[in-house]
């Protein structure tokens, strides 16, 4: 007897494919879905294993679904993706902030539009190949860190609503990547077991956001113009090539020489200035966040001590959270380095994601 009907989001890669195999083995009925979010042909990203939106990846997903014996659909989300994710990405950079498109895509496309598709196909659940778990605590469902802490992707998933978690399956959450590769090999998928991964943003396969902006922002050359580098006191110390070319914490590519390293410490889009400082100038003891979302806000109000991650590849740092509606102030036990407006800050307790927000200037 089937455990339920699942809309399996398939990218053509090892993680989503092994997720499908595991769910089948557990007794679920699957419907495969691969969504097009970006026209890869426009950006010349037709090379194999360069992202989930290439024609090759889509066809690999379709072929695997057919091999495993369940129906597969290609869903065109390009218009929604451009409107909800790409436009936000452009707007944020053009206003001197550093966006996190994967967080927004997960909330609006994968757990937004894809939920609607699941309903259309009569599916009880949706499933992805993300490395994350879902756990219950005091009557609430929480995202929880994956068993493989090096692959854990909860940072990018913090905006998924609790009601959507109730309909979500993460088959790989309890496994390490090494174990997943071995499972694929043991089942006879030798080529799949050694498949490499793309680490780039799906619509920027060459990992050059500046080139993307140049091609996708109207009159970009008139909007991205030279301005002044300033020091921490606001004094002019050189000429930059347009604030859009810089991100907080950047050290290389400044094209200006000092006796010791300088880092981008601030960006003022209105004044077209880029502030440079020494490494310690990027240390911060507090940050403010907006557009916050919490699973059970009373838990934080009762005990404001949290662990906070200010970027995907940084460790969680101990802090105190002060919450007011959808706004939040974090006071860190020890200063954190390189807080970037536009990035997500994600809160944890005992490995559970209890909330998050977008860093404000």
Catalytic residue, candidates 105, 123, 224, 292: 105
| Phi, psi of 197, deg, nearest 5 | -120, 155
On whether the CB atoms of residues 311 and 343 are closer than 8 A, the answer is: yes
* C-alpha dist (Å) from residue 68 to 20, 228, 357: 9, 58, 39
- The whole-angstrom separation of Cα 104 and Cα 110 is 9
Three-state secondary structure of 8-44? EECCCCHHHHHHHHHHHHCCCEEEEEEEECCCCCCCC
Element (H, E) at 220: helix 220-223
Catalytic residue, candidates 52, 53, 123, 202: 202
The verdict on whether 102 is a catalytic residue reads: no
How large is the C-alpha radius of gyration of the chain? Answer: 22
- The whole-angstrom separation of Cα 74 and Cα 52 is 12
The verdict on whether 105 is a catalytic residue reads: yes
End-to-end, the C-alpha distance of the chain in Å comes to 54
- The whole-angstrom separation of Cα 195 and Cα 129 is 14
Question: In the numeric block, which tokens belong to residue 221?
Answer: 């050359």
Q: Which residue's entry shows tokens 């994601």?
A: 353
Q: Write the Ramachandran bin of 323: left for phi over 0, alpha for psi from -120 to 50, otherwise beta.
A: beta
| Closest of 48, 49, 52 to residue 75, by C-alpha | 52
- The whole-angstrom separation of Cα 89 and Cα 98 is 8
Half-sphere exposure of 88 (CA within 13 A, CB side): 16
Active site amino acids: 105, 202
């Amino acid at each position: 007897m089937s455990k339920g009907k699942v809309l399996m989001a398939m990218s053509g890669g090892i993680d989503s494919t092994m997720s499908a195999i595991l769910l089948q083995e557990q007794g679920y009925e699957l419907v495969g879905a691969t969504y097009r979010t970006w026209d890869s042909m426009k950006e010349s990203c037709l090379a194999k294993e360069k992202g989930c939106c290439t024609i090759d990846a889509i066809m690999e997903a379709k072929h695997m679904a057919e091999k495993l014996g369940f129906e597969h659909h290609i869903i065109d989300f390009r218009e929604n993706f451009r409107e909800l994710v790409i436009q936000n990405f452009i707007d944020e950079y053009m206003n001197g902030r550093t966006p996190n498109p994967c967080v927004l895509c997960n909330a609006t496309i994968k757990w937004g539009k894809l939920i609607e598709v699941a309903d259309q196909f009569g599916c009880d659940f949706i499933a992805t190949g993300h490395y994350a778990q879902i756990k219950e605590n005091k009557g609430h469902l929480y995202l929880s860190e994956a068993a493989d802490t090096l692959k854990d992707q909860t940072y990018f998933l913090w905006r998924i609503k609790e009601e959507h978690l109730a309909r979500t399956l993460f088959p790989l959450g309890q496994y390490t990547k090494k174990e997943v590769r071995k499972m694929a090999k043991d089942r006879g998928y030798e080529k799949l077991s050694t498949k490499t991964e793309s680490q780039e943003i799906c619509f920027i396969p060459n990992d050059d956001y500046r080139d993307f902006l140049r091609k996708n922002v109207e009159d970009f050359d008139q909007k991205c113009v030279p301005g002044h580098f300033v020091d921490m006191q606001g004094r002019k110390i050189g000429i930059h090539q347009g604030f859009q070319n810089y991100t907080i914490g950047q050290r290389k590519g400044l094209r200006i020489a000092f006796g010791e390293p300088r880092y981008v410490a601030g960006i003022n889009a209105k004044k077209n200035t880029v502030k440079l400082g020494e490494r310690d100038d990027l240390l911060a003891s507090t940050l403010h966040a907006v557009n916050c979302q919490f699973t059970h806000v009373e838990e934080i109000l009762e005990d404001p001590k949290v662990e906070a991650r200010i970027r995907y590849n940084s460790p969680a740092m101990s802090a105190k959270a002060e919450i007011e509606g959808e706004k939040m102030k974090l006071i860190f036990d020890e200063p954190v380095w390189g807080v970037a407006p536009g990035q997500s800050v994600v809160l944890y307790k005992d490995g559970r994601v209890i909330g998050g927000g977008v860093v404000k200037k």
